[in-house]
Structure 1
Amino acid sequence: MKITMIILSLFSLVSLSACAFKENKASELETLASNYGGIYIFDKKIREEILENERKKGEAMKKMSLGDDFWDQLKIIEKKFPQVLSNGCKYYRNDYNYDVDDPDYDFNFDDKPEFAYYEDQFKAYMGEENYKKLRPYLGMTTYYVCEGKKYPIVFATMIDYKVKSYGLFGDEGRGFSFSSISRKSAGGGSFHYFTNNKFIKSDEKYTGQSY
């Protein structure tokens, strides 16, 4: 009986220590995500121009009436508010997604050498070590094209990671295990503006509005 109690006590201590490690690891990533997650904007002026054009277009579309001429109305609005900037370049939204290191994704910075400069800016801002820990999912939500070259404007980030918990898991049907792995996601809600060749975290918070 005493041996059983000792074994159970040791198991409990190991489980508690492992859980504490799990919580500390998760806390570290969540803290980093809070500091570096959010919306990254490489050109604030162009982003604001796009948002204003999209706002006007949206307001015009709200006034459209249903009927046989619906598509004609839409064509008129599209012509009045084209996805073209004041510099004559066409812009695009919600087009490319990048996952920095995950080979399961089709797009990443490694196979897009033209975006190496932008990856370098993320690394410089987050720090090489933090960048590797976070392995941020990067969604390029807005960019424009001039003379065939793409210029990113806005990236959104998401941090996805795994947490291993120790304990007694399962049941008689599935069998028992002393560990379990769960996936978690964390992301900050701040805007980061590229100013004077470096990112600066803004007090502005992302609250679900268009970006």
Structure 2
Amino acid sequence: MLVLLREYAGQRPFATLFVLCLCLFLPGCGAKLPDSGRLPSVAAGRGTPCYLEVTGQGIPTEGLAAAIRKEISRSGDLREADSPGPGTLTVRVNVEEIFLFGPAGVGLLDGLKTTAATLLIGILAAGVFIVAGSTDLGIVFPVAAGTLLGLGAGIGISANSWSKDVWAIRAGVGMAWHGTPDSLEEIVVSTGNGGASSREEATGMLEHELARRISKAITTLPQPS
């Protein structure tokens, strides 16, 4: 829905703003993030050899492999192995695609909510002053200034989110001892509600997030005394 609205906005900005304001009162107008999948936990002792295999058809994997090695080494203190084998934990990752999910609509709606709420407060305050017949500029000016600042903040949030997109990466991930995993779990992680301003920026964010998800599934056991 947000993709269509953004394409429509250039031709009919006022109509688009009206529709987006209606979205503030419609549950589910902001699309849910595509993140899915769960990796089973694997227990490994410190210093355990770990072999990493990262593949992807038509997709650069060097950055992702480096990010995974860094996260695994930092979180589990595992040492890199040259090949699968006895006593070695093998982590296999097959990147299927990096795809555009849609505009960073959650941030956009947050900005519109801020704008709408501030505007409502300003209208209510003006109504109170009119009914009360107040002309005290010492009160009117701060209220007006606060309303304008709130509107500016809301519009700024909306504009910033409008220029960003949510990207996601889909990959098969598997871990196994003493050999290559027979099956892979499908994992999807995204850039989050904040989105990214370009595919290049999104790629770095996705590499870090997928690496974090993988390293989080590895539980480090204390060394035997």
More helix by share: 2
Q: TM-score, normalised by structure 2?
A: 0.27
Q: Which has the higher strand share?
A: 1
Q: TM-score, normalised by structure 1?
A: 0.29
